[in-house]
Amino acid sequence: MARIRLDRLTPIVTLIVFLFIWWLTPSFIKLFTQSSFEEIQAPIWIATNQLETIANNTANKTKSKQVLIDTISELKRQNAYYKQIKNINENYKAEISRLESILNLPSRDRFRYELAHVIQRNMGSWWQTIRINKGSKHGIQKGDAVIFIGGVVGRIAKTNYYTSQVDLLSNHSFRISASFINDYRPLFYQGKGTDLWGQPKGRIKNAPQDLTTDSAKPLQLVTTGLGDTFPEGITIGLVPWLEPDNTGMFQAGEVQLDKRLLGVKEVAVLIPFNRIETIDHDF
């Protein structure tokens, strides 16, 4: 019988010893290791984003003057339009404040908006996340809501000092209470990743039986404001069809998300003015 060379088993023994040590290692040491590596990488992500910006600027320099003049004219028109809307909004805000003070109501301004650039995107079957260039230094914490021009983007999953990771609306772990516009009955939304053609999608459950929708005029799904993370009425997506769910008491359906979510560049993080501190049970 051939003798077994024990020295050949050294890698396996070392692996088992390492796994045993890793299992016994206190959580705070693992957390410290993770944070250290993430903080070391943060400048790399920001530098990569800067390189992308430089590349885009260089590409823009190749455009003709006429194209730039046309773009500026268009931006001027849009700027004038948004200035008018801003004035109207300020009037509305003043009116709301006046009524709140007369009726002794609490203020409706519950969030501060922290604008951030998207510096990295992971959108595919494996992950549905983005990384932004604002972190705990700017007051962002895990669980904060993230929105963009098309509605909900997602929720902060992890914060570092200068960067944060956001779980997108289409992420499998993203769940939220939602409702259809002008219908205040809450239902359950969950992200479902991307389909075969790479489009982000979600799914709703517990929709009331009396609701009907069709692909020509789909129902709009919005946030309910329950849970105090997202304000009420922020767009989630469109629901083109509904079908009875497995209980037979409610309806379920697929949610088409905004296609701009795939190329999102600028987002706003909603930071509550009166944050309720919660204990993080991750570690």
Partner 1 sequence: MIFDKRSLLLFVSNALLLHLMLMINSSITFAGFNLFVLGPIFIIAPLYLRADQFFITSLLTGFWVDAALPTPFGLVTFLLLTIGSFILLIRLRFRAEKNFHPSLLAHVANLIAGLTLLYFSVSTNFADFVVLLSTSFIELAISHLLLLFVAPWFFNFQRSLFSIFDTKTEPESLPFV
Contact footprint for partner 1 (CB under 8 A): 5, 7-12, 14-15, 18-19, 22, 30, 33-34, 37-38, 40-41, 44, 48, 52, 120-127, 129, 157, 165, 172-173, 193-200, 262-263
* Residue with smaller CB distance to partner 1, 35 or 101: 35
Picking from 184, 174, 185, 183, the residue whose alpha carbon sits closest to that of residue 255 is 174
For residue 254, CA distances in Å to 36, 169, 200 come to: 40, 13, 11
* Residue with smaller CB distance to partner 1, 184 or 283: 283
CB of 100 to partner 1, least distance (A): 41
Question: What does the block give as tokens for 86?
Answer: 């801003």
CA distance 106 to 169: 30
CB of 248 to partner 1, least distance (A): 20
CB of 86 to partner 1, least distance (A): 31
CB of 190 to partner 1, least distance (A): 10
CB of 165 to partner 1, least distance (A): 6
Q: Provide the residue type at 57 as one letter.
A: N
* Residue with smaller CB distance to partner 1, 17 or 69: 17
Q: Provide the residue type at 251 as one letter.
A: Q
CB of 95 to partner 1, least distance (A): 41
Beta strand residue intervals within 51-159, DSSP E? 111-123, 128-132, 145-148, 151-159
The rounded Cα 215 to chain-centroid distance in angstroms is 26
* Residue with smaller CB distance to partner 1, 44 or 68: 44
* Residue with smaller CB distance to partner 1, 97 or 141: 141
Q: What are phi and psi of 30, to 5 degrees?
A: -65, -45
CB of 231 to partner 1, least distance (A): 26
Picking from 169, 45, 56, 174, the residue whose alpha carbon sits closest to that of residue 118 is 45
CA distance 275 to 228: 10
The answer to whether 171 and 179 are in contact (CB under 8 A) is no
* Residue with smaller CB distance to partner 1, 12 or 102: 12
* Residue with smaller CB distance to partner 1, 121 or 134: 121
Cβ-count burial 233-248 (b if 16+ within 10 Å, e if not): ebbbbbbbebeeeeee
CA distance 148 to 103: 32
